Structure 1
Amino acid sequence: MRSATPAALLLMAAPGCAVIEGLTPAETAPDPAPDAADRARAEALYREGLRALNPPRGGTRDPDRAARLIAEAAHLGHPEAQMLLAASHLYRPDGSRDPEAAIPWLERAAMQGHVEAQYQLARLIEAGEGTAREPAWAAMWFRRAAERGSPAAQFALALMQIAGAGTPRDEAEALARLRLAERGGVAAARRYRAALERRVDAAAAEAAWTRVQRERARGPVPAVDRPLVRFAQSTLAAAGYDPGPVDGHDGPRTRAALAAFARAEGIAGAAPYGPAMIGRLRARAR
């Protein structure tokens, strides 16, 4: 097998395990785990799959059995198994990749709060690999990963904020994110941070630093969270509506702007953050 990149290892390896070879994901989209019993079964299948891949001393590796067990765990909603299936499309032994097939697995793991899945999904969306290129939607996913502690996502989002690509231009907030990225080991953040410090007002920088440090999220993505609200607000503002400040707070002005947008789009009465509304906002943001 060819040498795996660091990103591949993050996606494809579990602690103490070798990279899975020849894993073939199922063609149908995985279903979320319906109950605690299935979640427990998914965990057991996943661990058994890893043991089949990396057996105890004296055991025999069985990659085919490992693939079946991990695929079953993924269908039951196990996020690490879903990541392995995504990786089997993104990092194939022959060097090919199929991002379109990987995205559904990344989405399922990302919605469960898997930080690396959120970051990798954002990268694919930002680049338009396997899906339409949507900078604003990518920024939302980078923000979700950043709120869950990803230094790489902080760095990616900061660069988008500096350029005003997919998100409003905000150098003060970008500076705060670059500081967090640098603290988290992203070496490239240092150069950008030093450049911004020379031109961002100190008071604005301090306010942004305080605000960004308070952005903390854990666990599965809720139906409505700050990144989704900010995506809606920035898209509405760019389309000429008045959602109020782009701050992630779902207040009356944001709801009124969403209702006005829905009427204009012919979907009056649609849930403010339901699939119909978000689909139209994504289409407008492209």
Structure 2
Amino acid sequence: MRHIALALLLILAGPGCALIEGAAPARTEPEPSPSAAERARAEVLYREGVRALNPPRGGTPDPDRAARLIAEAAHLGNADAQMLLAASHLYRPDGSRDTAAAIPWLERAAMQGHDEAQYRLARLIEAGDGTRREPAWAAVWFQRAAERGSSEAQFALGLMQIVGAGTTRDEAEALARLRLAERGGVAAATRYREALRRRVDPATAEAAWTRVQRERARGPVPAIDRPLVRFVQSVLAGTAFDPGPVDGQDGPRTRAALAAFAQREAIAGASPYAPAMIERLRAQAR
């Protein structure tokens, strides 16, 4: 059910549909994880909602009931329902869209590890569509989606790494990502991969290929992950504080650079990857 049919999205986005009014609550701190009971209840509601739209043969679709059920599932923490709710704001029958309303739902689904939500969120952040334009922060979400199997995200991140847009330039790693994107069916990746292959040393390319293939993630986004560490290293690499290689590996050198940055910015008492620290680094990257 991850890849939602366009017809389903258009039904959910129809005039008067309850999903259009399903605003995500504003949050200033991470959302608490749903309890096991809430997850189970949300899954039941989501499935009932989809069934209301696609009833067994002979049944009559009930879009309004589906909208209510899916909205309730989204509020209880179902990532697929949250993605649907976001899509109802992004894809409307009249061609209009409300990206600002969609983004909070994309963020909630993305934090739970929904790769499509992560990719869509990255696209909006990269373009500054409904939110501040932040290529460096978009790269974080592209990598998270890529590590969870999104070929489109691998392609997008690879292109960013070719030119060093939003992240440190790394042609060998970009080549590896383009190879994975091509394997995943992204036709446009072939042209870029063939052009880039001639510029990358074969041994370096093979090492990057081995490394990128191992970068796999599942489930909710942890407090510290490779994409976040890589973001921190990329930003700090452009300052006076040397974090070491931009490889997504958290270590003493990166921590020391973070501590020095925190001292310069007068961020007292914050842990190295605390939200206040990340926000300041995001501001640094803009």
What interval of TM-score do these two structures reach, taking the shorter chain for normalisation? over 0.9
Task: Determine the structure 2 residue equivalent to 1:187.
Answer: 187
Once the two structures are superposed, residues 17-76 of structure 1 have per-residue CA deviations (whole angstroms, 9 ceiling, x without a partner) of 675332324224286553100110000111111111111222222111111110000000
Task: Tell me how far apart the structure 2 counterparts of residues 161 and 100 of structure 1 sit (CA, whole Å).
Answer: 28
The residue type paired with residue 5 of structure 2 is A
1:157 and 2:153 aligned: no
1:90 and 2:90 aligned: yes
Once the two structures are superposed, residues 218-264 of structure 1 have per-residue CA deviations (whole angstroms, 9 ceiling, x without a partner) of 11111100100010111111122111111111111111111111111
Task: Tell me how far apart the structure 1 counterparts of residues 88 and 279 of structure 2 sit (CA, whole Å).
Answer: 29
1:13 and 2:5 aligned: yes
Once the two structures are superposed, residues 166-204 of structure 1 have per-residue CA deviations (whole angstroms, 9 ceiling, x without a partner) of 011111111111111111111001111111111111111
The unaligned stretches of length 5 or more in structure 2 are none
Contact kept in structure 2, 1:241 and 1:257, CA below 8 Å:
yes
> Aligned ranges for residues 43-82 of structure 1 at < 5 Å?
43-82=43-82
Task: Determine the structure 2 residue equivalent to 1:270.
Answer: 270
Contact kept in structure 2, 1:90 and 1:99, CA below 8 Å:
yes
Percent identity, aligned pairs only? 78
Once the two structures are superposed, residues 65-94 of structure 1 have per-residue CA deviations (whole angstroms, 9 ceiling, x without a partner) of 111110000000000000000001100111
SS of 2:25 mapped into structure 1? coil
Contact kept in structure 1, 2:49 and 2:66, CA below 8 Å:
yes
Task: Determine the structure 1 residue equivalent to 2:125.
Answer: 125
Task: Determine the structure 2 residue equivalent to 1:26.
Answer: 22
Contact kept in structure 2, 1:33 and 1:76, CA below 8 Å:
no
SS of 2:20 mapped into structure 1? coil
The residue type paired with residue 13 of structure 1 is A
Instruction: Tell me by how many angstroms 1:214 deviates.
Output: 1.1
Task: Determine the structure 2 residue equivalent to 1:203.
Answer: 203
Contact kept in structure 1, 2:10 and 2:88, CA below 8 Å:
no
Closer/same/farther in 2, CA of residues 41 and 48 from structure 1, 3 Å limit: same
Task: Determine the structure 2 residue equivalent to 1:177.
Answer: 177
Task: Determine the structure 2 residue equivalent to 1:245.
Answer: 245
Closer/same/farther in 2, CA of residues 28 and 205 from structure 1, 3 Å limit: closer
Task: Tell me how far apart the structure 2 counterparts of residues 222 and 28 of structure 1 sit (CA, whole Å).
Answer: 22
Q: How many residues align?
A: 277
Normalised by the size of structure 2, how large is the TM-score? 0.92
Task: Determine the structure 2 residue equivalent to 1:284.
Answer: 284
Contact kept in structure 2, 1:140 and 1:231, CA below 8 Å:
yes
Contact kept in structure 1, 2:80 and 2:109, CA below 8 Å:
yes
SS of 1:24 mapped into structure 2? helix
Closer/same/farther in 2, CA of residues 270 and 279 from structure 1, 3 Å limit: same
Task: Tell me how far apart the structure 1 counterparts of residues 94 and 4 of structure 2 sit (CA, whole Å).
Answer: 15
Task: Determine the structure 2 residue equivalent to 1:105.
Answer: 105
Task: Tell me how far apart the structure 2 counterparts of residues 188 and 281 of structure 1 sit (CA, whole Å).
Answer: 33
Contact kept in structure 2, 1:18 and 1:53, CA below 8 Å:
no
> Aligned ranges for residues 209-248 of structure 1 at < 5 Å?
209-248=209-248
Contact kept in structure 2, 1:25 and 1:85, CA below 8 Å:
no
Greater shift in the superposed pair: 267-276 or 74-83? 267-276
Task: Tell me how far apart the structure 2 counterparts of residues 33 and 66 of structure 1 sit (CA, whole Å).
Answer: 24
Task: Tell me how far apart the structure 2 counterparts of residues 10 and 222 of structure 1 sit (CA, whole Å).
Answer: 21
Task: Tell me how far apart the structure 2 counterparts of residues 93 and 139 of structure 1 sit (CA, whole Å).
Answer: 31
